[in-house]
């Protein structure tokens, strides 16, 4: 089987899962964006997925993404940064990412504001929320969310478009996604444009859709296993 055929079958399966989850949740599948997480996979795979109709892609490392996106400059595609971002990478990430989904600290907000101002651009961002408050895994703890959102709201360079979360390990994911939904619903009182809920991956996208996810981030189920050496 060719790689294209393999990706076509995987994509059909993922789309069917999304459709079924939406039907169960009585939601319109058009509300749920499929974001293909292409980290560790070559640009050629992105090109094939694009040929199969996908337009939204995510990477988690600045250096890898920058090289990959440069190879794909001819494609009309949206690129999201979903990995931990160091402040000294703020300018670099702006060269390839259309949205930063992993904003989780005031210091990172300030670095992105400065980089965007220097480049004269506006930047869409999501706040990555830490549902269990485990700082080691990144993300803004839920109690700190209003302050971080306000800081983004005060800048003219950044636009807060919503939240992203990874379900904590060893806990029923639905519970985590319910907490996330509550947090973003409160956030929308002051930030009405924060409409994106990026939640759900290959293993838990059904639970995430049941809890209002508008963006599922799928790597393995589309592209296959990343192997043991990769995150």
Q: What does the alpha-carbon distance between residue 159 and residue 147 come to, in Å, rounded to a whole number?
A: 15
The one segment of 61-69, 112-120, 183-191, 219-227 that binds ligand PLP by CB under 6 A: 219-227
Sequence-separated (6 or more) residues with CB below 8 Å from residue 211: 174, 177, 178, 180, 181, 199
Residue 36 interacts with ligand PLP (CB under 6 A): yes or no:
no
3-state secondary structure of 86: coil
Cα(208)–Cα(180) distance, integer angstroms? 10
* Contact flag: residue 185 with ligand PLP (CB under 6 A): no
Identify each DSSP E strand in the chain by its residue range. Answer: 33-37, 56-59, 78-81, 99-103, 123-130, 140-141, 158-165, 196-198, 215-218
- Rounded to a whole number of angstroms, the minimum distance from the CB of residue 213 to ligand PLP is 12
Give the one residue of 44, 63, 86, 220 binding ligand PLP; rule: CB under 6 A. 220
Identity of the residue, 123 or 165, whose beta carbon is nearer to ligand PLP in the bound complex: 165
Does 202 engage in binding with ligand PLP (CB under 6 A)? yes
Applying CB under 6 A, does 218 fall inside the site for ligand PLP? yes
For the segment 63-82, give every residue that binds ligand PLP (CB under 6 A): 82
Which one of 23-31, 47-55, 114-122, 201-209 is the stretch in contact with ligand PLP (CB under 6 A)? 201-209
- Rounded Cα–Cα distance for residues 112 and 91 (Å): 7
Q: Of the two residues 37 and 103, which places its CB atom closer to ligand PLP in the complex?
A: 37
21 binds ligand PLP (CB under 6 A): no
Q: What are phi and psi of 130, to 5 degrees?
A: -95, 110
- Please, which residues bridge with residue 35 across strands? 217
Please name the helix (run of DSSP H) or strand (run of DSSP E) that holds residue 79, with its range, or none.
Answer: strand 78-81
CB 211 within 8 A of CB 181: yes
Contacting ligand PLP (CB under 6 A), which of 60, 130, 155, 213?
60
- Minimum CB separation from ligand PLP for residue 83, in Å? 6
Q: Which positions touch ligand PLP (CB under 6 A)?
A: 37, 39, 60, 82-83, 166, 201-203, 217-221
């Amino acid at each position: 089987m060719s790689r294209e055929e393999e990706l076509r079958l995987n994509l059909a399966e993922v789309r069917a899962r999304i459709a079924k989850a939406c039907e169960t949740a009585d939601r319109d599948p058009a509300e749920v964006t499929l974001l293909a997480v292409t980290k560790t996979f070559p640009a050629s795979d992105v090109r094939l997925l694009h040929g199969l109709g996908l337009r939204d892609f995510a990477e988690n490392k600045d250096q890898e993404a920058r090289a990959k996106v440069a190879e794909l400059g001819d494609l009309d595609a949206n690129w999201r940064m979903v990995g931990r971002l160091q402040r000294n990478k703020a300018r670099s990430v702006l060269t390839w990412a259309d949205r930063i989904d992993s904003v989780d600290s005031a210091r990172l907000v300030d670095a992105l504001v400065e980089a965007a101002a220097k480049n004269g651009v506006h930047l869409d961002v999501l706040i990555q929320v830490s549902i269990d408050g485990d700082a080691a895994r990144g993300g803004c703890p839920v109690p700190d969310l209003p302050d971080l959102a306000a800081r983004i709201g005060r800048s003219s360079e950044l636009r807060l478009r919503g939240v992203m979360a990874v379900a904590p390990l060893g806990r029923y994911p639905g519970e985590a996604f319910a907490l996330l939904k509550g947090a973003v619903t409160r956030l929308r009182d002051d930030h009405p444009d924060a409409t994106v809920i990026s939640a759900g991956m290959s293993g838990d996208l059904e639970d995430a859709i049941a809890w209002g996810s508008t963006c599922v981030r799928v790597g393995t189920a589309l592209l296959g296993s990343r192997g043991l050496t990769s995150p």
